[in-house]
Amino acid sequence: MFKFFAIPAHDRRLIPEGRLSGPMPWVIAIMIFLTVLAAAAGLAMTRATSDVSDQLSSRATVQIIEANPELRGRQAEAAAERLRTLPLIEEVRLLPPEEIQALIEPWLGTQDLAEEIPLPALIDLKLAHVATDAEYQSLRNTLQPIAPGARVEPSSGYIAPVISLVRSFQWIAFGLVALLALATGAAVIISARSALNTHTETIAVVHLLGGTDQQISRLFQRRIALDALLGGLIGLVGGTAIIWLISTQLTALGSGLVQSVGLDWWSWLIIAAIPILGMFLAMVTARLTVIGALRKIL
Amino acid sequence: MKDEIVRFENVGLRYGAGAETLADLNFTLYPGSFYFLTGASGAGKTSLLKLLYLSQRPSRGVIRLFGEDAVTMPRERLPGFRRRIGVVFQDFRLVPHLSAFDNIALPLRVAGVREKDLETPVTEMLEWVGLGDRASARPATLSGGEQQRVAIARAVIGRPEILVADEPTGNVDPDMAIRLLQLFEALNTLGTTIVVATHDIHLLSKIPGAQMMRLEKGMLADPTGSLRFPPLPKDQLQ
């Protein structure tokens, strides 16, 4: 597989190699830089949607809507007691008023509104499994006699439009990766053809001395593979730096879906492999281009 | 057929849609013989040589090379056959960024000869063409005659079965021309078939026993002087 790296020095001299002297490594560096960013965005969004979906799909919230605070409190206690007995419910947590206050604080400020606004009592439920619509309806029916104003809402329902939007971005990111791979391939084809034109005479001589298509294409493959690897590493370093910067800023935001945006170790592995994949893409494209061009001569 | 190295049967060559550059060529070359190919400029000498060293396929006819049909031969087999043919190009075609040593070593490297086995034959070849002290010189720093000698050394280093030379003495002084022909003759005595294209009629008498093919407007013409046409096997020459 790495045979092309083992080309003897004298053969390499046939097609002079100037590291970073042409535009090719820099074009590849930009392509890989953008690919790394797009891939990181796609992978981070995949993780975020997956994490949030996993977390929320087995959670539900019960709102006890009752204007009378004392009655609301009693209903909430009774509903929580009843819910704890159900096999569908794994965990029940009645949110204390301070926590509810904290939830609405970003919108309504820090003043104590409990007396003025009849905030519902909230019960956070962790379900034993992802509940069906019928199970949610059964839950509502169970709570109806205890708290007539109770509403049972699957948590995933709140965030479903956001998840859908993030999924769209995720596919756009992966689409960009595919487009960048195509653009990289096109750049390699142009570069290989340009190199072929530059070295037409040398190739013709080697050809007439009995050089095979494979021998000649290996020279170009190696040169373009090294250019791609070098450019890819530059792009990877640049891309990784940007990812690190963004992730630092996202962490500082510290809440909700945004905090779920991050990269697993396997995502980093995929990102680290991008320059290698880019190199192989460049190598295969160069080989096909050069052999295709050589086949046009006898 | 046995005892023949090249055979042309009704060979014609046409570039694009133009008239035939070569037409109705019928001849046989025999192993170990020495041939001159003569004719005026534009007669088709270089085109005929291109057919010989497998740079072109003919538009029609049959070419048998080393006993095999070179016209229908799959492209993948051509490199192996090209390695059996040494070529001195009219314009030398040296690789400009390689030294004289590396240019001469090129056919051996292409053939996969190991680096440690290269030094001696290439150095000997450099000495043979009188360029022992110019091994590391690049073509641009060599005179026309020196470049030509490098081209000749490159053509013969692999001990080809056929040596094809297109105007090999065109850029050298008369003394060097005779010396180069003597080199070819020496190679010929070792068994290599030599085909030298030249328009210099005076060269022909320098190689006793050489045969001549003369091209006129892309067709083989009658011979002149004492040389024989069509070519005969060496052992049948008087």
Chains A, B: CB contacts within 8 A come to 58
**Structure confidence by residue, pLDDT tens digits, A174-221:** 999 999 999 988 888 888 888 888 888 888 899 899 998 888 888 888
* Cα separation, B198 vs B169, whole angstroms: 8
Partners of A121 in the β-ladder = A64
Query: Does residue A125 contact residue A60 with C-beta atoms inside 8 Å?
Result: yes
Q: Does pLDDT of A38 surpass 80?
A: yes
Sign of CA dihedral A65, A71, A73, A79: negative
Say if the Cβ atoms of B110 and A13 lie within 8 Å: no
User: Do residue B83 and residue A209 have CB atoms under 8 angstroms apart?
Assistant: yes
Closest CA to A207 of B43, B12, B85: B85
- Partners of B102 on chain A (C-beta within 8 Å) are 10, 13
pLDDT, tens digit, 9 for 90 and up, residues A39-78: 999 998 888 887 777 777 788 899 988 888 888 889 999 9
Counted domains in chain B? 1
Nearest to B79 among A14, A201, A212 (CB): A212
- Is residue B57 assigned to a domain? no
The pLDDT value given to residue B230: 47
Q: How far is A209 from chain B (nearest CA, A)?
A: 6
Domain-located, residue B221: no
- In chain B, what residues touch A8 (CB-CB under 8 Å)? 109, 115
- pLDDT score for B134: 93
User: B97 in a domain, yes or no?
Assistant: yes
Count Cα atoms within 13 angstroms, Cβ side, for B113: 18
pLDDT at A231 over 60: yes
Nearest C-alpha of chain B: how many angstroms from A288? 16
Residue A73: its pLDDT value, please?
A: 87
pLDDT greater than 50 at residue A236: yes
Alpha-carbon separation of residue B186 from A297, B104, B190 (angstroms):
34, 19, 7
Instruction: Report yes or no: B105 at the A interface, CB cutoff 8 Å.
Output: yes
Chain B: residue whose CA lies nearest to A11 = B109
Q: Which residues of A touch B106 (CB under 8 A)?
A: 205-206, 209
Is the Cα dihedral B179, B128, B50, A205 positive or negative? negative
The radius of gyration computed from the CA coordinates of chain A, to the nearest angstrom, equals 31
DSSP letter for each residue of A197-252: HHTHHHHHHHHHTT--HHHHHHHHHHHHHHHHHHHHHHHHHHHHHHHHHHHHHHHH
- Domain for residue B21, yes or no? no
Residue B105 lies in a domain: yes
Residue B25 DSSP SS3: strand
- Angle at which helices A213-253 and A24-57 pack, to 10 degrees? 50
Element holding B187 (H helix, E strand): helix B174-189
Please tell me which residue, A279 or B175, carries the higher pLDDT value.
A279
Nearest to B54 by CA among B79, B35, B25: B79
Residue of A nearest to B78 (CA): A210
pLDDT at position B226, please? 39
ipTM metric:
0.85
Q: Does residue B139 lie within any of the structural domains?
A: yes
* Residue range(s) defining the domain that contains residue B100: 93-159
B144 occurs within a structural domain:
yes
Beta strands in B30-97 (DSSP E): 34-39, 60-65, 68-69, 85-88
Starting at the edge strand that comes first in sequence, how are the strands of the sheet with A121-127 ordered?
Answer: A89-94, A121-127, A59-64, A150-154
Q: Say if the Cβ atoms of B82 and A210 lie within 8 Å.
A: yes
Question: Within the 14-43 window of chain A, which residues sit less than 8 Å (CB to CB) from chain B?
Answer: 14, 16
Q: What pLDDT is attached to residue B229?
A: 47
CA distance A147 to A79: 7
User: Is B117 among the domain residues?
Assistant: yes
In the predicted model, residues of chain B with pLDDT beneath 50 are 223-230, 238
Q: Which of the residues A7, A199, A209 would you substitute to probe the B interface, choosing the one with the greatest number of B C-beta atoms within 10 Å?
A: A209
Taking the Cβ of residue A210 and every Cβ of chain B, the question of whether any pair is shorter than 8 Å is answered with: yes
Cβ atoms < 10 Å from Cβ of A103: 13
Chain A touched by B75 (CB under 8 Å): yes
Note the pLDDT of residue B237: 53
Whether the per-residue pLDDT at A110 is higher than 70: the answer is no
User: The tokens 């396997």 sit on which residue?
Assistant: A266
Q: Is the pTM of this model over 0.90?
A: no
